[in-house]
C-alpha cells in the first residue's frame, strides 16, 4: 500500500506538467470570394426509343442516337469547335420492361396506361465544349442556339415532351441534365477558387491577430486547419437534413445556366497558437 501511495504523487506531477505544456490556442474562421467566368459549356440532349418489345425499343434508340450524334458533330465542325467532345451517358430503362413499378405507377397516374405498358430505353448525349470563357458573347450564343436547333431537328427531347408531368419533373430534377439542356461549369474548379482560398486564410489570420491583441497576446503557427465549407466536423454535430441539403448543393460542381461571371467562395477554420508578446 505504501508503495502505491509513493507512486501517486509522481503521476500527479506528470499530469500537471503535461497540462502546462499544452499550447494555448485560438480558433477562427475566414471566408473568401472570387468572381470567375465558367470556361466549359456542357449541353445535354435526350434520345429514346419506345416499343412493346425491348429489342425494338433499343433499335429505335440506336437509330435516333446515331442521327443525333451525327447532327451535333456536324454543327460543332461548322462552328470550328474541333476540341469539343460528345459522350454517351449509358442506357436508362423505363416502363414495364425496365425500371419497374415506380415508373409504371407514374405513367398510369398521368393517365397514360398505354405508355406504362411499353418499354422505353433512353440515353443522353453530353456535348462538352472547352474554352468558352474566351469566346465573344455573340459567338457563344450562336453556338448554343445552333446546337439546340440541331438537337431538336434530330428528335432530342421528344419523349420528355410527351411524358406525364411527374416523370418530367423527376427526370429534370435528378437525372436529366440538372434541370436544363445548357450548363456552364469549370474545367478545374480548384484552380478557379484558389484566390478565394488565399482571401479566406488571410481573413482568418487577421481575425485571430485582432482578438489576440485585445488580450495582450499574439498568434504563432497554425496548428490545425479545416475546410469549413466541406460540412461539420465529427466534433460538431449538425442537423442531418441541413447536412444532406448542403451535400446535394455541392454535387453541382459549380455548374450554372449563365455564361457570365459567377461568385465562388471558400471558408476555412484555422487554429492558431497563442503567445505572449
Mind listing the pLDDT tens digit for each residue in 64-111?
999 999 999 999 999 999 999 999 999 988 754 444 444 444 444 455
- Please say whether the beta carbons of 177 and 124 come within 8 A: yes
Domain boundaries, the chain: 23-36+190-276, 40-185
On the question of pLDDT at 113 being above 60, the answer is: no
32-66 tens-digit pLDDT: 999 999 999 999 999 999 999 989 999 999 999 99
- State the pLDDT at residue 156: 82
pLDDT for 101: 41
pLDDT confidence of residue 229: 77
pLDDT value at position 258?
Answer: 85
What is the Cα–Cα distance from 148 to 143, expressed in whole angstroms?
9
Q: Give the model's confidence band at 256: pLDDT under 50 very low, under 70 low, under 90 confident, else very high.
A: confident
Whether pLDDT at 139 is above 80: yes
Residue 246, pLDDT score: 41
Q: Say which DSSP state 234 is in.
A: T
Q: Domain 23-36+190-276: give its CATH architecture.
A: 2-Layer Sandwich (3.30)
- Looking at the predicted structure, is the pLDDT value of residue 243 above 80? no
Percent of the chain with pLDDT over 70: 66
* Consecutive H or E run containing 59: helix 54-78
Of the pLDDT bands very low, low, confident and very high (cuts 50, 70, 90), residue 149 is very high
Higher pLDDT, 37 or 2: 37
* C-beta separation of 195 from 33 below 8 A: no
pLDDT higher than 50, residue 168: no
The per-residue pLDDT for 254 is 65
What pLDDT shows up at residue 6?
53
pLDDT digits (tens, 9 = 90+) for 186-232: 999 889 999 999 999 999 999 999 999 999 999 999 999 999 876 44
pLDDT band at 158 (very low <50, low <70, confident <90, very high): low
Does the domain made of 40-185 have the CATH classification 3.30.70?
yes
One DSSP character per residue, 88-128 reads E---EEEETTTT-HHHHHHHHHTT-HHHHTSEEEEEEEEEE
Question: Average pLDDT, whole number, for the chain?
Answer: 77
Q: Which of 152, 149, 123 is nearest to 62 (CA)?
A: 123
User: Which is more confident, 251 or 145?
Assistant: 145
Amino acid at each position: 500500500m505504501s508503495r502505491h501511495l509513493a507512486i501517486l504523487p509522481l503521476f500527479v506531477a506528470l499530469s500537471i506538467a503535461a497540462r502546462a505544456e499544452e499550447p494555448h490556442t485560438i480558433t477562427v474562421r475566414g471566408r473568401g470570394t472570387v468572381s470567375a467566368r465558367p470556361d466549359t459549356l456542357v449541353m445535354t440532349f435526350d434520345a429514346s426509343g419506345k416499343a412493346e418489345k425491348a429489342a425494338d425499343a433499343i433499335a429505335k434508340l440506336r437509330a435516333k442516337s446515331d442521327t443525333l450524334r451525327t447532327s451535333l458533330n456536324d454543327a460543332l465542325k461548322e462552328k470550328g469547335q474541333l476540341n469539343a467532345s460528345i459522350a454517351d451517358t449509358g442506357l436508362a430503362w423505363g416502363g414495364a420492361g425496365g425500371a419497374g413499378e415506380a415508373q409504371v405507377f407514374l405513367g398510369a397516374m398521368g393517365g397514360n396506361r398505354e405508355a406504362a405498358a411499353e418499354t422505353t430505353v433512353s440515353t443522353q448525349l453530353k456535348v462538352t465544349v472547352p474554352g468558352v470563357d474566351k469566346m465573344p458573347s455573340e459567338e457563344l450564343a450562336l453556338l448554343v442556339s445552333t446546337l439546340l436547333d440541331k438537337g431538336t431537328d434530330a428528335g432530342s427531347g421528344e419523349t420528355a415532351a410527351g411524358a406525364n408531368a411527374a416523370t418530367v419533373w423527376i427526370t429534370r430534377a435528378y437525372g436529366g441534365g440538372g434541370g436544363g439542356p445548357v450548363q456552364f461549369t469549370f474545367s478545374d474548379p480548384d484552380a478557379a477558387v484558389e484566390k478565394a482560398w488565399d482571401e479566406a486564410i488571410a481573413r482568418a489570420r487577421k481575425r485571430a491577430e485582432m482578438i489576440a491583441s485585445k488580450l495582450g497576446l499574439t498568434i504563432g503557427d497554425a496548428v490545425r486547419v479545416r475546410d469549413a465549407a466541406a460540412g461539420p466536423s465529427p466534433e460538431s454535430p449538425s442537423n442531418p437534413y441541413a447536412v444532406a441539403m448542403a451535400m446535394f448543393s455541392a454535387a453541382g460542381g459549380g455548374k450554372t445556366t449563365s455564361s457570365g461571371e459567377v461568385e465562388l467562395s471558400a471558408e476555412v477554420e484555422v487554429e492558431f497558437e497563442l503567445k505572449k508578446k
